[in-house]
């Protein structure tokens, strides 16, 4: 969980930093660039909120936490799509893009592992088993 949170924060910082470079991210596509940044921030907030929910034996808290984890995973997939479009739109150098994509993929993989681990730990609260 901590690894996922730390990697996500690194991804958000890197996304904001890279997208603020107007020499690379042309201002005429500012709305698209803002969408990339907003998506990364949404992922970070969802993971932060999910991490703050202490499930205990509450099925409702588990449902809320799990929904936030699911949203974060879906938003990470959306972010990867937007990054791929940005790569072609802004003609990003391979090295710059690959580092950024690696951060997003690692974050997504860690978020999925966290979600799956929580499902094993708390899934019984809603399944009745």
Query: Do 47 and 113 form a contact (C-beta atoms < 8 A)?
Result: no
Following DSSP, what letter does each residue of 19-35 receive, concatenated?
HT-TTTS-GGGHHHHHH
Give the whole-angstrom CA distance, residue 80 versus residue 39: 10
83-99 residue pLDDT tens: 999 999 999 999 989 99
Residue 18's nearest CA partner among 97, 106, 85, 78 is 97
38-47 residue pLDDT tens: 999 999 999 9
Secondary structure of 93-115 in HEC code, one letter for each residue: CHHHHHHHHHHHHHHHHHHHHHH
Give the whole-angstrom CA distance, residue 37 versus residue 97: 15
Opening angle at CA 112, ends 47 and 122, nearest 5: 80
pTM for this structure?
0.92
Mean pLDDT score, 31-56 = 97
6-71-24-98 Cα dihedral, nearest 10 degrees? 60
- End-to-end CA gap in the chain: 24
Largest CA distance in the chain: 56
- The pLDDT score that the predictor gives to residue 112 is 97
11-31 residue pLDDT tens: 999 999 999 999 999 999 999
Check pLDDT > 80 for residue 64.
yes
Check pLDDT > 70 for residue 65.
yes
Band (pLDDT 50/70/90 cuts) for residue 1 is low
- The pLDDT score that the predictor gives to residue 128 is 57
């Amino acid at each position: 969980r901590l690894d996922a949170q730390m990697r996500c924060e690194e991804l958000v910082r890197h996304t904001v930093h890279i997208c603020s470079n107007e020499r690379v991210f042309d201002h005429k596509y500012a709305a698209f660039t803002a969408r990339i940044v907003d998506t990364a921030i949404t992922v970070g907030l969802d993971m932060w909120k999910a991490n703050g929910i202490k499930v205990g034996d509450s099925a409702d808290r588990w449902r809320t936490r799990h929904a936030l984890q699911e949203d974060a995973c879906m938003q990470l997939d959306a972010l990867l799509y937007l990054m791929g479009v940005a790569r072609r739109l802004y003609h990003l150098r391979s090295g710059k893009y690959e580092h950024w994509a690696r951060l997003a993929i690692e974050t997504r993989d860690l978020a999925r592992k966290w979600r799956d681990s929580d499902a094993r730990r708390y899934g019984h609260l809603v399944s009745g088993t």
